[in-house]
Amino acid sequence: MSVQPQLINGEWRLAAADAATFSPSNPNTGKQHDVVYPVASAAEIGEMLDAGNVAAAQLRALAPSKLADFLNAYANGIDDATEELAGLAHSETGLPVEPRLTKVEIPRTTGQLRQAAAAAVSEEWTQPVIDSANNLRSRLESLGQPVLVIGPNNFPFAYNGVAGGDFASAIATGHPVIAKAHPAHPGTTRRLAEIALAALASSQLPPATVQMFYHCDPEDGELMVADPRLGAVGFTGSETTGRKIKAAGDAVGKPVYLEMSSVNPVIFLPGAMAEKAVELAAEFSGSCLLGAGQFCTNPGLILTIAGKATETFISAATETFSAAPSGVMLVSSLPSELNESVAKLTAAGAELLARGKSAAEPGFLAQPALLRVSGERFLTDPDGFQSEMFGPASLVVVAADEDELTVIATELNASLTASFYSATDGSDDAAHDRLSPIVTQKAGRILNDKMPTGVAVSPAMMHGGPFPAGGHPGFTAVGFPASLRRFGSLKCYDNVRPERLPASLRDPNPTGRMWRIIDGNWTQDNVGAD
């Protein structure tokens, strides 16, 4: 069995004969794949950093439309290989080919690449500002070095290090990407990297614009993050790993953008419950059970106030969770980790309301779980009861009254999202207005009458939040052009000669329609117009 090559400086390079290796598994069958992948050595990582810096200097000299050509060609290449890619990803992640992979995630991924291409060309993310009286001109621009992108296990395309949102944002801002595949789906990532390499060739970008490795020793990874040859890091994954990567970057003042764990509290106020408890239970159960609950925006914490309607809601949800089939999970450890999380919460005093059906089939199967705890008990250990249960599981907290719910709200940890359901007749408005200022501080995205799963790729999205849900409260990992700004370095050109200025900072508007702030006003004019 030969060891698969890594993509280093434009070449598919075989690892040294003594390289450590690993093989991923098929979550559908529970069996290991018959393919072997190498763990990158420190020397290989060093080569990628060197090549990435050479490519960064080359990209600096190119027009942004060249970056867009690549991103579009890459999106087309992925479209053409959709069936093959979906098959590969299904065999490595267990995610259903249809609709999930072919109808949802791959189109989202190519859509992101194309939106990033458009954002690169518009240069809106650079936010050019011109002060003509002082002849000062500023804009965001590339950091001038490669960006390391580390993707999670749960989105083999849309967040993949070599194809997802962070990848697209880094490329669109002129950065070569060094992608670390998630070791649970290296074959999918390898195939994507092949398509990327072909797209680089057809769009005449430096081949080292995209490099890829599968795995590394965690210590080598931390050294890579701290290496002066690396400009920034985009990471999506577990809090444990994310915190280590952040610490390595922080020590040298390097921007590290993180998207980590989140329990996504959903608050059902009493009036909403009274209006349609059964319907809300169906909405919640559907969101929580979707994709075996393997979303960072999975509703893992439900906050309610005791009452008859709340009991109706809980009964209906309990019924749905009890009848729910086991779900295929991404990696072998997840089903037992979910069981441990459930056991921890019941040991702490939560009641197990429902466990979904177990199954005799092979594979990494997890039974859905619904738990319940009183507000009083929750408040004895708010952090413990907010531990993320990754998978199709959620904890319903039943507060005695609005006062107790308000105390619970103040104890909420950071999340990506927080949702409010309230009555249509205004009867919940006072409670909402009391809770909202508290809850709004805790999450990046605030929803009304809506479940948090489903992250639209929109310029108005915030996918991030206070630490440790996100890494910096001011930036989003999803949505163009907003996600591009993370990788921007603000530069001021002070009295710089016109011919040396970037085109977007010269007097003439380079496209005739670029939005710039000139002397305090947003305009598409040239400097000196009117």
Select 140 or 369, whichever has its Cβ closest to a copy of itself.
140
d(CA 519, CA 315): 61
Spatial neighbors of 332 by CB under 8 A, at least 6 apart, are: 25, 27, 30, 364
Select 18 or 530, whichever has its Cβ closest to a copy of itself.
530
Does residue 503 belong to the site contacting a copy of itself (CB under 8 A)? Answer: no
Report the Cα–Cα distance between both ends of the chain, in Å, rounded: 71
Q: How many CA atoms lie within 13 A of 215 on its CB side?
A: 19
Select 334 or 414, whichever has its Cβ closest to a copy of itself.
414
Does residue 54 belong to the site contacting a copy of itself (CB under 8 A)? Answer: no
Known catalytic membership, residue 492: no
Choice among 92, 123, 259, 404 that is catalytic: 259
Binding mask 252-291 for a copy of itself (x = CB under 8 A): xxxx------------------------------------
Cβ atoms 72, 119 nearer than 8 A: no
Select 52 or 488, whichever has its Cβ closest to a copy of itself.
488
Three-class SS string for 16-79? Answer: CCCCCEECCEECCCCEECCCEEECECHHHHHHHHHHHHHHHHHHHCCCHHHHHHHHHHHHHHHH
DSSP code at position 162: T
- How many residues lie near a copy of itself (CB under 8 A)? 68
Instruction: State which of residues 130, 199, 280, 289 lies at the interface with a copy of itself (CB under 8 A).
Output: 130
d(CA 161, CA 152): 8
Rounded to a whole number of angstroms, the minimum distance from the CB of residue 11 to a copy of itself is 26
The pairs formed by 428-435 with CB atoms below 8 angstroms and a separation of 24 or more are 428/269, 428/270, 428/271, 428/272, 431/269, 431/270, 431/402, 431/405, 432/269, 434/402, 434/406, 435/267, 435/405, 435/406, 435/409
Does residue 134 belong to the site contacting a copy of itself (CB under 8 A)? Answer: yes
Rg, Å, the chain Cα set: 24
Binders of a copy of itself among residues 406 to 445 (CB under 8 A) are 417, 432, 436-437, 440-441, 444-445
Does residue 485 belong to the site contacting a copy of itself (CB under 8 A)? Answer: yes
CB atoms under 10 Å from CB of 60, counted, come to 13
Known catalytic membership, residue 222: no
Binders of a copy of itself among residues 442 to 481 (CB under 8 A) are 444-450, 456, 458-462, 464, 466-468, 471-476
Rounded to a whole number of angstroms, the minimum distance from the CB of residue 229 to a copy of itself is 12
Contact window for a copy of itself (CB under 8 A) among 7-15, 31-39, 97-105, 488-496: 488-496
Rounded to a whole number of angstroms, the minimum distance from the CB of residue 411 to a copy of itself is 12
Choice among 92, 216, 296, 404 that is catalytic: 296
| Footprint of a copy of itself (CB under 8 A) | 57, 60, 129-131, 134, 136-138, 140, 143-145, 246-247, 250-255, 417, 432, 436-437, 440-441, 444-450, 456, 458-462, 464, 466-468, 471-476, 482, 485-486, 488-497, 500, 515, 517, 520, 522
State the catalytic residues.
259, 296
